Amino acid sequence: NPEEKAAEILALETEIANVQWPREKRRDRDLTLNQIERAKLSDDYPNFDWDTYFAQTGYKVPELNISQPEPVKAVIEIINDTALDKWKSYLTYHTIKNNAGLLSEDIYLANFDFYGTTLSGQQEPRPRWKRAVSQMSGTQSLGFAIGKIYVNEYFPESSKTQMAELVENLRTALGQRIDNLDWMGEETKVNAKEKLMAFRPKIGYPDKWQPFEGLSIKSDDLVGNVRNLRSFFHEESVAKELEKTDRERWGMTPQQVNAYYNSSFNEIVFPAAILQPPFFDPNADPAVNYGAIGAVIGHEMGHGFDDQGSKSDANGIQRNWWTDADRAAFEAKADKLAAQYSQYEPIEGNFVNGRNSLGENIGDVGGLAMAYHAYKLSLDGKEAPVIDGLTGDQRFFLAWAQVWREKRTEQSMLNQLRAGTHAPGRFRAQAPRNHDAWYEAFDVQPGDELYLAPEERVRIW
């Protein structure tokens, strides 16, 4: 009976979900760092056949991290208390769901009806060619092979050079800002500057492309091709598990419009696709580039100093490099920013989770300040020209706002509010409320809708 099976699967999924930590707790690196020797797993997490598990995966790792200790123990209980037939139904369903985009159109559309329309409000599925490109563009697919073609077509070396200069200008600006912080003591400043100078930027594309030797691809077997890709990357991971970590690997493909900070490597990464308008234009006015991609650079640098990234040092090791007084001062400012964003109400009765989005909000507010500082340094004391009736400062802040324009359904917005770590674009665009220069640029006065009194503006970095 399909209805009964569906009810069983939903009940099992709900049971598993209910024992997980809340999202805010799962963000806390102090709580999720729980290293354990492989040999002691059965002692601390009994009633699960760990030997068979690792034999099946192929991993021989001598030590690992259990990010959620209590939930793992609870899931082991669920595994042992749930009938085998229910697990068969659960795994069958998830196998079909996870491969819906590879199967017949009726299966894909049934999956889209729930995940696309019901959950996200999307009325029409994407064209098949876009789905195909998306399927092949991931890091665990042919993404880097496609990325190599993308880079050759759309990313000149001159853009990489110009971007590298922007990164160094932002590094200089943040260094000066750290020197001038009035809430941080000298000891912590030294450690912060050490971490800043150790940032490793990666721009555009990897120096060494992902090899695909030994991968079997057939023109008439989509499901088989995807399974071969999964096996290919799994076997590569198993083969390299005990080797020294490859710091040259990328976690995103060049054609992905995104950027990231990796705290374990203390690196900031900017794929080629985000180095296109509206984020970056090699021929654009400097104010626009600093307000757009400059603030994104600052945002990623800011992740190294947000509420969680700040728990890792210059070498990517999780340790406390703060004095107690400085950490307390930082936490107080972070709490104030979390409270500010928690007041935003995109949909009546549904607010931004300022605590869950705190890292991103610190990145936005701090990154914008760094980018503005770097922009002013680039002017070398000169006045920016007025272009189309707009001053340099006005163009800077408008560029920031424009990159966050978006259209989305109410269902999609609700999903982001419940589970996302980013504030909606409208509220990311409002980060300048915390910067005095924005008020001066647009003559924002008390009584204006977005006005924040000076004592309510949050300045961390």
DSSP string for residues in 258-279: --EEETTTTEEEEEGGGSSTTT
Q: What is the pLDDT of residue 411?
A: 94
pLDDT digits (tens, 9 = 90+) for 80-97: 999 999 999 999 999 999
Residue 260, φ and ψ in degrees, nearest 5:
-155, 160
Average of per-residue pLDDT across 327-333:
98
Average pLDDT over residues 34-45: 96
Distance (Å, rounded) from C-alpha 98 to C-alpha 118? 18
* pLDDT confidence bin for 245, thresholds 50/70/90: confident
Phi, psi of 453 (to 5 degrees): -60, 150
Q: pLDDT averaged over the chain?
A: 96
pLDDT bracket for residue 187 (50, 70, 90): very high
Percent of the chain with pLDDT over 70: 100
Q: 6-11 long-range contacts, Cβ below 8 Å, gap at least 24?
A: 8/86, 8/89, 8/90, 9/86, 9/89, 9/90, 9/93
pTM: 0.94
* Of the candidates 303, 358, 365, the residue with the CA atom closest to the CA atom of residue 334: 358
Residue 209 has pLDDT above 90, yes or no: yes
CB 288 within 8 A of CB 170: no
Q: What band does 242 get if pLDDT is binned at 50, 70 and 90?
A: confident
- pLDDT at position 30, please? 96
Check whether 199 has a pLDDT greater than 90.
yes
Confidence of residue 213 (pLDDT cuts 50, 70, 90): very high
Average pLDDT over residues 380-394: 97
Of the pLDDT bands very low, low, confident and very high (cuts 50, 70, 90), residue 224 is: very high
Q: pLDDT at position 74, please?
A: 98
Q: What is the pLDDT of residues 344-379, one digit of tens each?
A: 999 999 999 999 999 999 999 999 999 999 999 999
Dist. CA 10–CA 15, nearest whole Å: 9
DSSP 456: G
In this prediction, residue 269 carries a pLDDT of: 98
- Domain locations along the chain: 2-98, 155-208+252-456
pLDDT band, residue 387 (cuts 50/70/90): very high
Nearest to 94 by CA among 222, 223, 6: 6
pLDDT band at 77 (very low <50, low <70, confident <90, very high): very high
Which residues have a Cβ under 8 Å from the Cβ of 404 and sit 6 or more positions away? 425, 426, 428, 429
Q: Is 443 left (phi over 0), alpha (psi -120 to 50) or beta?
A: left
Q: Is the pLDDT of residue 7 over 90?
A: yes
Q: Per-residue pLDDT for 244 more than 90?
A: no
Give the whole-angstrom CA distance, residue 370 versus residue 199: 15
The CATH architecture one would assign to domain 155-208+252-456 is 3-Layer(aba) Sandwich (3.40)
Alpha-carbon distance of 447 to 426, in angstroms, equals 20
- Nearest in space to 215 (alpha carbons), one of 147, 140, 148: 140
Indicate if the pLDDT at residue 100 is higher than 90. yes
- How would you class 375 by CB atoms within 10 Å of its CB: exposed for 0-12, middle for 13-18, buried for 19 or more? buried
Which residues does residue 436 pair with via DSSP β-bridges, in sequence order? none
Dump strand ranges (E) for 249-337.
Answer: 260-262, 267-271
Instruction: Write the pLDDT tens digit of every residue in 305-327.
Output: 999 999 999 999 999 999 999 99
Residues classed as catalytic: 300, 364
Q: What is the DSSP string of 15-73?
A: HHHHTSPPHHHHT-HHHH--EEEGGGHHHHS-SS-HHHHHHHH----SEEE-S-HHHHH
Query: How many beta carbons lie within 10 A of that of residue 458, not counting itself?
Result: 22
> What are the two backbone dihedrals, phi and then psi, of residue 34, each rounded to the nearest 5 degrees?
-140, 80
CA-based nearest residue to 433, from 450, 446, 447: 450
In this structure, are residues 423 and 357 in contact, taking their beta carbons and an 8 Å threshold?
yes
Residue 20: band (very low, low, confident or very high) from pLDDT cuts 50, 70, 90: very high
Q: In this predicted model, what pLDDT tens digit does every residue of 388-433 receive, in sequence order?
A: 999 999 999 999 999 999 999 999 999 999 999 999 999 999 999 9
Print the SS3 string covering 394-421. Answer: HHHHHHHHHCCCCCCCHHHHHHHHHHCC
Q: Flag whether pLDDT at 284 surpasses 90.
A: yes
